[in-house]
Amino acid sequence: MNNTQPAFPNPLMGILCALTLTLALLSPRLQAAQINVEVLPDQVTLNESFQLKYTAIGSVDDDPDFSALDQDFEITNRQSSSSISIVNGEMSRTKTWTLQLMPRRKGNLVIPPVSFGKDISPARAIAVTDARQQQSSGRDPDIFVTAEVEPKNPYVQQQALLTVKLYRAVNINSASLSEPAAPSGDLVIEKLGEDRSYPANRSGRSYMVIERNYALLPQASGAIELDPIQFDGQVVSRSRFGFDPFGGGRRVRALSDPVTLNVRPVPASFSGDLWLPAANLSLSAHWSEPQPELHVGEPVTRVIRITAEGLAASQLPEIELPLPAGVRSYRDQPILTARSELGGIVAEREEKIALIPETPGVLRLPAIQIPWWNTQTDRPEVATLPAVEIAILPAAGSTAQNPITAPIAGSGSEQIATVGTVTPPVAPATINRLPWLICGLLALGWLGSWWFWRNRYRQALDYRPADSTASPSLKGTVRQLKQACKQHDPRAASQALLAWGKLAFADQPPPSLESLALKLDAPLAEQVNSLARILYAPDSDSATSSWNGDALANAFKQHTTLSKGSTTSRPPDRDPDLAPLNPG
């Protein structure tokens, strides 16, 4: 007889075995986890990162809350890993959190306890020293940044040069260097050239230097502060094979000292209409032909160029060329160029003016003068283009017994002459009908050409740009300008005008109010120049407090109304690619 044996001879024994197995599985969670904290290294300099490692043996109650660290430290990186091991039938669980921290201040700082649910980590301490303390003790840091500006007290709109240098004695990767910025917004900043790299020795220690240069153009007088230049990077760690670019490393941060510009207003001794502070400013001119022989009715082009060191191209003024009676002129659009050099910005403005004499004789073009301020000598100067004198011959094909034989000046180095008018020749004593008939036919042809070019020129003059307040972004700047004028806030009005000018004249955005005024009609230009004089005046505080924006608002409204009206008067058959008369 077969007897079936039960799986457990005693039911109680089976229950005890099941309970024991359950407790064995749950025992890691019933016990509090052990949390270890490791700080590497335990002493760092300000703006140098360190590693903080939390290791939990056993299961923690919850994920860690690292918000307690935010008061004195910045977490730049965090990683976590976990592992489970079974030794002699016993299972153990380990989880690690690795943080990269950057101290926010110097001193003996406490790393506070971090809660892992109900589990709490112990506190630790770290010493943070100032990098300047190392320098004072004769030891320069591995990485540091310098920022120097010259001059420190420029005039308003005068160029100042900012030189930024990054010194490093260690290999780095994942590096970045911030651009200079002024919170006030009263500074135009332009980078000069490319970065330069070269070795240097400082306090007996070798460094690699990265140098950047910038041109600063302050737009308002007073103190203008620049934010410190900030470097962020990672020091390449070493391996037994040398530097390991993929092995990570400590994060470092370096800040330059802050830079402050003490901007001076326009000096009272400057008497020019347009403020032009430059290291150098010169005028030059030449004709479209090396040795032009001018005849009545034949055009010739006069090319005049302004070259300035330390000014933006849009700051250069329009060249005024007064002409005597008996000469017509046509202007091309000016050509504005600028190049960046280590010494700053070099800007040029070139204007081509076509001249058509109507009467034979001697044409005398007056001298051209542009007042400017020499920032090297701190004195006012005047750039002068000498007067020029040139003979105008009768129209081709006509005859005269007393032709003009005056020498031609101005093709190369021009001589100064008195400003005058065209002197007509003496009439011939005898009259020959055939030459006069030929002259009459030529005159008719010339009049036909003149009428053709005159209509073309008038069509070009009738054309105006489309409404400069049409786009949504322009509408926003117009609203800001109206609000500033309504509140009688000159500085807000200046910022709104410059923002509007950058959008309305996108091809050549004006960097200053004076440059913007050169692009506008008389009523609005006068108001813009008046606003600039108030902002740049030595007693600008009292002048701005009494400024009334109604006149500027009315002039701007009149300007936009004229611009809108002019869009309907554009000739339908006008060739938009037709350039003004410029045979040279």
The tens digit of pLDDT for each residue in 208-222 reads 999 999 999 999 999
Residue with tokens 């197995």: 21
Of 519, 516, 520, nearest in space to 532 by CA: 516
* 436, pLDDT greater than 80: no
Q: What percent of the chain has pLDDT over 90?
A: 33
The answer, yes or no, to whether residue 80 has pLDDT greater than 70, is yes
Alpha-carbon distances of 287 from 179, 299, 318, 389, 408, rounded to whole Å: 44, 11, 19, 12, 11
Q: What sign for the dihedral angle of Cα 499, 500, 505, 507?
A: positive
Residues 222 and 104 in one domain: no
Sign of CA dihedral 134, 139, 143, 146: positive
- The residue among 454 and 321 whose pLDDT is bigger is 321
Contact 490, 547 (CB under 8 A): yes
Q: What's the pLDDT score for residue 2? A: 47
Provide the domain count of the chain. 4
User: Above 60 in pLDDT, residue 23?
Assistant: no
DSSP 8-state assignment for residue 155 = B
Q: Once rounded to an integer, what is the mean pLDDT over residues 550-568?
A: 76
Same domain, 292 and 208: no
- Residue where a domain terminates, one of 103, 132, 161: 132
Q: Is a pLDDT exceeding 50 seen at residue 405?
A: no
Domain boundary among 109, 132, 155: 132
pLDDT reading at 273 higher than 80: yes
- Mean pLDDT to the nearest integer, 400-412: 42
Binned at pLDDT 50, 70 and 90, residue 564 comes out as low
Q: State CA 64 to chain mean position distance.
A: 45
Looking at residue 471, the DSSP 8-state letter turns out to be S
pLDDT of 168: 93
What are the pLDDT digits (tens) for 299-351?
889 999 999 999 999 899 998 888 888 888 888 889 999 988 878 999 999 99
**pLDDT tens across 497-537, in order?**
988 888 888 877 777 777 788 888 878 988 988 887 787 65
Looking at residues 528-557, what average pLDDT do you find? Answer: 79
Rounded average pLDDT over 74-97: 84
pLDDT at 460 exceeding the cut of 50: no
**Separation of alpha carbons 560 and 548, rounded Å:** 20
Return the structure tokens found at 423. Answer: 């002197």
Considering the chain, what is the average pLDDT of its residues?
78
* Cβ neighbours around 58 below 10 Å, total: 17
Is 147 within a domain?
Answer: yes
What's the CA angle centered on 182, arms 179 and 188, to 5 degrees?
80
Query: What number is the average pLDDT over the span 462-490?
Result: 73
Q: Which two tokens stand for residue 363?
A: 């044409």
Q: What is the pLDDT of residue 104?
A: 87
| Lookup: tokens for 427 | 């009439």
> Which neighbouring-strand residues pair with 86?
91
Choose the weakest-confidence range: 39-43, 77-81, 334-338, 570-574: 570-574
**End of a domain among 263, 291, 314?**
263
In DSSP terms, 77 is beta-bridged to: 100
Are residues 217 and 192 part of one domain?
A: yes
Asked whether residue 242 falls in the same domain as residue 349, the answer is no
- 312 and 253 within one domain: no
Flag whether 281 is in a domain.
yes
Query: Is residue 366's pLDDT more than 80?
Result: yes
pLDDT at 191 over 60: yes
State which amino acid sits at residue 69. L
Host domain of residue 71: 29-132
25: confidence class by pLDDT, cuts 50, 70, 90: very low
Indicate which CATH number applies to the domain containing 193.
2.60.40
Token pair 């308003």 in the structure block, residue: 156
Only one residue has tokens 């055009």, namely 299
Is there a single domain that holds both residue 283 and residue 400?
A: yes
Task: Tell whether omega for the bond before 511 is within 30 degrees of 0, i.e. cis.
Answer: no
Same domain, 213 and 232: yes
Q: Residue 449: its pLDDT value, please?
A: 67
Closest by Cα among 404, 296, 302, 430 to 355: 302
Backbone angles phi, psi at 124, to 5 degrees: -140, 165
Whether pTM exceeds 0.85: no
On whether residue 509 sits in a domain, the answer given is yes
Determine the pLDDT at residue 29: 45
pLDDT above 70: residue 569: no
Residue 165 sits at φ, ψ, to 5 deg, of: -130, 130
Q: How far apart are CA 139 and CA 258, in angstroms?
A: 22
The pLDDT score that the predictor gives to residue 134 is 54
The reported pLDDT for the residue numbered 131 is: 65
Q: What is the 3-state secondary structure (H, E, C) of 548-569?
A: CCHHHHHHHHHHHHHHHHHHHH
Q: Does residue 21 fall inside a structural domain?
A: no
Instruction: Report which of residues 415 and 171 the model is more confident about.
Output: 171
> Is-contact 101 37, C-beta < 8 A?
no
Mean pLDDT of 382-397: 86
Judgement on whether residues 291 and 235 belong to the same structural domain of the protein: no
